[in-house]
Each structure stands twice: as structure tokens, then as C-alpha cells.
Amino acid sequence: MRQIWKLKNSLRGQLTLWFGGLSLAILLGVGAYVGRIATGELAQFGGVSLYVSAQSAAALLTTNLREREQEIELLARSALLTQGRLNAENVRRALELRKGAHKEYAWLGIAEPSGRIIQATSGLLLNEQVTQRPWFQAGRHRPFMGDIHEAVLLAKRLPSPTANQPLRFIDFAAPVLDDNGQLKGVLGAHAHWSWVTDTVESVMADHAIRQQIEVLIADKSGNILYPYHHAGQLQLPERRQPLAHFERLRWRDGGDYLTSTVAVHSVTNQDLGWRIVLRQPVEVSLAPVEALRNRLLLLGLGAALLFTAMAYYFATRVSRPIEQLVRAARRIEQRDGTPVYPGDEHAKEIRLLSRSFQSMTASLLQREKELSELNATLEGQVAERTQALHQANQELARLATIDALTGLHNRRWFDEKLHEHHGSLLRQGRPFALLVIDADYFKRINDTHGHGVGDAVLRQLARLLLQSVRATDFVARFGGEEFVVLLPDVSLAHEGLRVAEKIRSTVEGSIFQTVLNVTVSIGLGLSDASDTHPTAVFLRADRGLYLAKEQGRNRVVLVKD
């Protein structure tokens, strides 16, 4: 104990304690700091991964729902239904073929205006009355997509695809009109709910199961629709940061989960309000960080012990001649024999110590000056590189919004502009109009003259569009041979018609190399303060384009509602 006390109060002991303790504190502090950074980075990476997967699932589900809705709407508009007898045998075969080609359909049928089923796949529900069914009531007036519901009439006639779960459907419907616009019947379809869940699950990789990532579907009220064992038992917690891509939430089952929620944006007249939710237990997402933190702490302890031993060794080497001088001085003081001084090499090192420090100080100052100048040079280079990188990023951002063929803005930038103008309409009452433009018989140009000529036609159309609009108007290539033009601050029909007619006549009067003459059909839609979604005005303009094509092309059609 006495030896330990003497060692503690000696220069050798204090150097050892100081260097050993300092190294331990630094290593433990660095380990804790690195662990904290790793925790945040891993949580950020895991949350972003969840958000990307949820976004992919929501986008895929939106696309599939839109395709099924459009499929039913187009089938209802087909000549087979609009011009023939709805109870004809060829109509029944067409429905059977459509159901066989798309496994997601559980049932397809047609009800006459009185509500009686007159055509149905597999003969199910023939002559049944569906007057009170929501799909029939809504389908009499417009295309319809209904929320999930349990089977009512088909519950006992179709097997459930999933054991211990009731048969659940999503309804699609569209009116069948004759050539005079009179209602002939309602085309209805029941799609399996399992089709929706399989679509959402398909975006998840195999490792998601190992990482305990769970996929859920919630309705607009936050009730869990899928998986079925959570239905009625679990609800989406209230989000503290509604705009965040992910956050850590405490669920009703008592667990903390890293949660990402993405809305399924409706493209129909009815917003279902579904949300794709991905959640992962926090302890699972942060498990690698805990393991890393423990390894860092163990490594820090081992390194600290090693540094302590090294500090003791070097402290001994440094303090030995000084301790020898102290003992010599003490012997002289106590008159205790002949003092023993350090050898010549030690005395020389001590004598040279001051000069060495002076030389070292001068050298360090010179090195510091050189490093300062080098640092200033490096800072200038970093600033130049940062500016170049900033300019490169700006160019990349610009290229991401430009259509490579025509030089116009692309669909991605158009979608953002459409949301921006719709927001201005709702907040400030600023109206706008939208033109949807399509080159007539463009496929014939490609088939006859080749895609190179078709590309040249598209580039010339882009130039003519830019020449025909105002500087404040927004022109973009929507896809293929289809273009869109946003007209800000246009609220009157004749204003939009004047611009559309100018575009149509300019294109008609222009000479195109090789093909000579090209015409366009244009649909015009005006924004309305009652529009709840930006796509409402697009759907009106797109319907106008469809009517322009149907009425003979090379014309402008305005759709007001």
C-alpha cells in the first residue's frame, strides 16, 4: 500500500495516471460519440429505406387501381356494350374472357337500369336485384371505385382465398350508355382484396421478413385494414410530424416502431384515403448499433490499458534521470554519502533539453506557418471545388426536369407545377387552364417514315408550342406524342380557347419535313375552386382530348365539368 502511495505521488505515477486516464477518457468518449452518430445514421438509413419501400408500394397500388378503373370504364364504352344487346351471348363470353385474363376479378356482371343482373361471369347472381348496392347506385352516373367491404351476395357462392378470413372485395363500376347518351345498364366488377395485399407485399424484399418489417394498410381514419389479424384491433398512432418521411411512434400494442406512412393518392372521383404503413421494431433497427457500441467500448478499454502500460514505460524512461538527480540532491541535503548523478549521456540530454525545446519550438512555428499557408491554399481549392460541385448539381437538377428529345419540361416537372397551381388556386384564388395536346395519327408517321422522322416531328411540335404561348405559360411533354400547356391566370373559356386555337392553326399551317402536314387535337380544362385534387382539371382536359379525337381530330374541345 505504501509503495502504491509513493508511486501515485511520484512523477512517474502521475504521468502514468494522466496519460492512461486521458487515453481512456478519449477512447471511451470517441466510442460513445461514434456510437451515437452510428445510431442516428442507422435510424436515418432504416427510416429512409422504409419510406422508399412504402412509397414504391403506394405508387404500384395507385397504378394498379387506376388500370382496373380505366379497364372497366373502357369496357363500358366499347361498341360491344354500347351498340349491342347487353344480354347477348357474345357479351357474356367477353366478360368471361376478361375475368379469365385477370385473376384479380372475382366477378364481372351487368345490371339493367332497374337493378336486375342480366349478365354475370359463371352465372353468379343472375336475376338478382342490386338496387341498394353502392356500386350500382354510383355506377349509374359515373365511373366508380368503392372501398373494401365483405362479400354480401357472393359470400356463400365463392371460396375465400385465405383461410379464417372473410371474402372481401373492392368494387369497380361504370355506366353503359347508348349512342344517345341514355343509360342501358351498369357494368360492375368485384376485385379480390388479396390482389391489393399481394400488390403491396410484392415490393418487399426477402430480407424485410428477417428484419421484422411489417406492411400494413390503413384507411383514412387510421384503422388497419391489412393484415386481417390487426383489423379492428390496431390503429395507426397519431403522427407528431405529419410531413416527416418516417418517425418513431409508440403503437397501441405497446411497442416502439420506426414507422413510415405514405398516402395512396386517388386518381378516381372518390378518394379512398388509404395509406401504406411500414413499421419495424426500434430494437431490431438499432440492434447493429448496440453491437457496434459494445465492441467500441471493449476496444476502448483494451486500448486504454495498452496506452496506460505504454505511458508507464515512457514515464519511467523520462523520469529516471530526474529521479536520480532528486536522490542526488537529497543525499547532498542529508549528507548521506556520495551522490550519484546521471551518466554523461543523461546529463547531456538534460543540458540539451532546453535547446532542443527551443529548436523544436522554432521548428513547430515554422511548420505551423507552412501548414497555415497550405491550409489557406486548400481552403481556396475546396471553395472552388464546392462551387463547381454546386453548379454541377444545379445542372443535374435541371436535366432531371427536361425531356431529352424535345428540350421541353418533362412530366415530373409538370406534376409539380400542376400541384403548385392547384395550391395557388386554393390559397389565393388564382385560376388556371390546362391544355392536353396530342399529335393526330402519330403512330402512322412512325410506321410509315420511321422513328427518326417521328422524333423530328415531335421536336418541331415542341418549337411551335413554345412560339404559340406566352412567356408565363408552362409547356411540357407529357409522354409519347402528348403535350400539356398550363395557362396561369386564365379563368374564362374564350381565353383558353383562343390560345388552343392558335396552337392548332399554327401546327396545321406548318410544313414538316418528310411528312409535310401534321395536325393536333386539343382538350381544354378550366380549374375550379371546388377541385379537391390537382388531377381534376387534368381529367377534364383529357376528356376534352378524347372527345376531340372522337369528333374527327384537328379540333379543340372544352370540357367544363
Domain covering 78-197 assigned CATH 3.30.450.20 in the classification: yes
150-168 pLDDT, tens digit each: 777 776 777 766 656 677 8
pLDDT at residue 252, as a whole number = 83
Q: What angle do CA 190, 194, 197 make, to 5 degrees?
A: 125
Q: How many residues does the chain have?
A: 561
Q: What angle do CA 414, 418, 423 make, to 5 degrees?
A: 150
The chain-wide mean pLDDT, for the chain, equals: 81
376-430 pLDDT, tens digit each: 777 777 677 767 666 655 556 666 789 989 999 999 999 999 999 999 999 998 9
Q: Domain 411-559 sits in which CATH superfamily?
A: Reverse transcriptase/Diguanylate cyclase domain (3.30.70.270)
* Strand, coil or helix: 379: helix
**Above 60 in pLDDT, residue 8?**
no
pLDDT at residue 416, as a whole number = 94
332-360 pLDDT, tens digit each: 667 666 666 666 555 555 555 444 534 54
**Above 70 in pLDDT, residue 444?**
yes
Query: Residue 403: which of 470, 344, 443, 458 has the closest Cα?
Result: 458
Q: In Å, how far are 24, 310, 318, 358 from 314, measured between CA atoms?
A: 17, 6, 6, 22
**Above 60 in pLDDT, residue 136?**
yes
List CB contacts of 438: < 8 A, sequence separation 6 or more.
Answer: 481, 482, 483, 520, 521, 522, 545, 549
Rg (C-alpha) for the chain, rounded Å, is: 38
Q: Are 246 and 48 in contact (CB under 8 A)?
A: yes
What residues are annotated to the active site? 481
Domain ranges (residues) in the chain? 78-197, 411-559
pLDDT bucket at 268, cuts 50 / 70 / 90 = low
Range 204-213, long-range pairs (CB < 8 A, 24+ positions):
204/53, 204/57, 208/53, 211/280, 211/284, 211/285, 212/280, 212/281, 212/284, 213/50, 213/53, 213/278, 213/279, 213/280
Q: Could you give the residue ranges of the DSSP H alpha helices within 341-488? A: 344-399, 411-428, 442-449, 451-468
Q: In Å, how far are 67, 68, 91, 333, 429 from 75, measured between CA atoms?
A: 12, 11, 11, 115, 38
One fold for both 78-197 and 411-559? no
Q: Which of 85-99, 244-258, 279-293 has the highest mean pLDDT?
A: 85-99
Higher pLDDT, 207 or 426: 426
Burial 26-65 (b: 16+ CB within 10 A, else e): ebbeebeeebeebbeebbeebbebbbebbbbbbebbbebb
User: Distance (Å, rounded) from C-alpha 233 to C-alpha 224?
Assistant: 8
**pTM for the whole structure:** 0.47
Cα-Cα end-to-end distance for the chain: 96
pLDDT at residue 355, as a whole number = 44
CB atoms within 10 A of CB 97: 12
* Strand, coil or helix: 225: strand
